[in-house]
Chains A and B, each alone.
Chain A
Amino acid sequence: MLRTDLKHIESNSELEDVLKNNANVMICCGRMGPMCIPVYGVMQDLESKYPHVQMRDMDFDIPVASFIRGLPVCASFMGLPFTVYFKNGKVVKATSSIQNKKQIIEILDEVFKN
């Protein structure tokens, strides 16, 4: 389990549940490394400012992460973490490797306009 204050996705049922029951979902799939930790930190900080977006993390090495790893949009990704944004269950944006707060806010505002 990742050591963050975010809600984790650890099973297929949790993944299905969050994607099925929420219009706006951001999932960061990584490890506890220096490229991933800042992204989790930004998500923790932004959670309360984006109540209309469900933010989750996911351990890159657990079975359910094969869903993220296997997404066509992530096929060319070669840097942790893989961060994927879903609108009504469909992928609308994905990034590879570290992103700063400004970059993440830009994406959230672009893809999850209220």
Chain B
Amino acid sequence: MKTDLLIIGSGPAGLQAAIHASRKKIKVVVAGKVGNSSLKRAKVENYCCGELLSEGWELLEKGCMQSQNFGVIFKKEDIVKIEDKKNGFFYIELESGENFEAKAIIIATGVTKNTLNVKGENKYHGKGVSYCVECDAGFFKNKKVAVVGNGSAAAMGAILMEAYAKEVILIYKQLDISEKLKQRLDASSIVQVSSQWVKEIKGDEEKMTSCLLIDDKSIEVDGLFIERGAKSAVELFSALSVELDKETYSYIAANKKQETNVAGIFAAGDICGPPFQLAKAVGEGCVAGIFASDYVKSKEF
């Protein structure tokens, strides 16, 4: 399906961008799970007129409804792949396999801490513990590995690891993935350990050797991939050479129009760095929505 603008993330930045872009009469698709926004479980504070909507979930719900009234299409799925088609379109694939071609993209994913913050994690980082299946899968050929996480990144990571490892274990509390992805997982040889989580990573002087789960059972593995939530924006966009901020190299660098260094790609909200405030996210979303729609309209496709 072709669209003018695809917004990745349905938090406050993504919703505000969707509202402003759709008001400019362009086709807008928003991809992402509203429940992943940190605002969902937060109280609205320090936000102009925030007293009218004190609950974060309420604000998100109203924002979705408002956007839908302007014609915005919502896809409650994570993005698993993005490519520059080099013909003026970006190719975007969702976790269910559905795909889009968009003239412009706004990255409004927010930021997710991908660490587990458990004992042994830092010690074995790079020595069995990894945060990127695509980067490090090759080090685990014919080995036994575990992937921990509840979202599409963990499920997709486990499926990818199947091609490398002799045994793959997926550890999760509760999966939050599309039905199609769940079917792929169930049809694979991946061992699923549900209602569990990793509480400690153990090993010897050189490398990790096992994971201790919350029920105190130990699983012997050569590696553990920590893949919480969706694929990070930095992970998704590194192949497109989107530049990161020069201070921490953790966030997407954007100018005052919320443009990144790549034409047609904009960014807004927490992914652009601190302060992590609702007001900033909404403001940047507004700017990104306006300039992304201007970009779409200015180009002859």
* Chain A residues close to B by CB (< 8 Å): 3, 31-39, 41-42, 45, 75-80, 95-98, 100-101
**The residue from A35, A42, A76 contacting B127, defined by CB atoms under 8 A apart:** A76
Q: Annotate B264-296 by CB proximity to A: 1 below 8 A, 0 otherwise.
A: 000000000000000000000000000000000
The total of chain B residues at the interface (CB under 8 A) is 28
Residue of A34, A39, A80, A97 touching B234 (CB-CB under 8 A): A34
The reply to whether A78 and B207 form a contact with Cβ atoms under 8 Å apart is yes
Q: How far is the CA of A38 from the CA of B248 in the complex (A)?
A: 8
Q: Smallest Cβ distance from B144 to chain A, in angstroms?
A: 13
Distance between B186 CB and nearest chain A CB, rounded to angstroms? 29
Which one of B128, B135, B139, B241 has the highest number of Cβ atoms from chain A below 10 Å of its Cβ?
Answer: B135
Q: How many A-B residue pairs have CB under 8 A?
A: 79
Which chain B positions have C-beta within 8 A of A98? 131
Question: A41-B244, A41-B249, A96-B127 known; A79 and B135 CB under 8 Å?
Answer: yes
Cβ of B109 to closest chain A Cβ, rounded Å:
13
Say whether B130 faces chain A, with CB atoms less than 8 Å apart.
yes
Residues of A with C-beta under 8 A to B129: 79
- Do B207 and A41 have beta carbons less than 8 Å apart? no
Residues of B within 8 A of A80 (CB): 132, 135-136
Q: Interface code B235-276, partner A: CB below 8 Å = 1, 0 otherwise?
A: 100110100101111100000000000000000000000000
Q: A33-B135, A34-B135, A100-B248 are in contact. Are A78 and B128 (CB under 8 A)?
A: yes
B130 and A33 within 8 A (CB): no
In the A-B complex, list the 7 residue pairs whose CB atoms are closest, starting with the nearest.
A96-B126, A97-B126, A79-B126, A38-B249, A78-B139, A41-B249, A76-B206
- B134 adjacent to chain A (CB < 8 Å): yes
Query: Beyond A76-B207, A78-B136, is A37–B244 a contact (Cβ under 8 Å)?
Result: yes
Among A3, A39, A42, point to the contact of B241 (Cβ < 8 A): A3
Q: Complex Cα distance A35/B126, Å?
A: 11
- Within 8 Å by CB of A34, from B127, B235, B246, lies B235
Residues in B whose Cβ lies below 8 Å from that of A77:
126-127, 139
**Can you spell out 8 A-B residue pairs with CB atoms less than 8 angstroms apart?**
A33-B134, A35-B132, A41-B249, A45-B246, A78-B223, A98-B131, A100-B248, A101-B248
> Which residues in A have their C-beta under 8 angstroms from that of B232?
34
B8 CB, min distance to chain A CBs, angstroms: 16
In the complex, the answer to whether B130 meets A78 with C-beta atoms within 8 Å is yes
Identify the closest chain A residue to B243 (Cβ): A41
Question: Which residues of chain A are near B70, meaning CB under 8 Å?
Answer: none
User: Complex formed: what's the CA distance from A101 to B136 in Å?
Assistant: 21
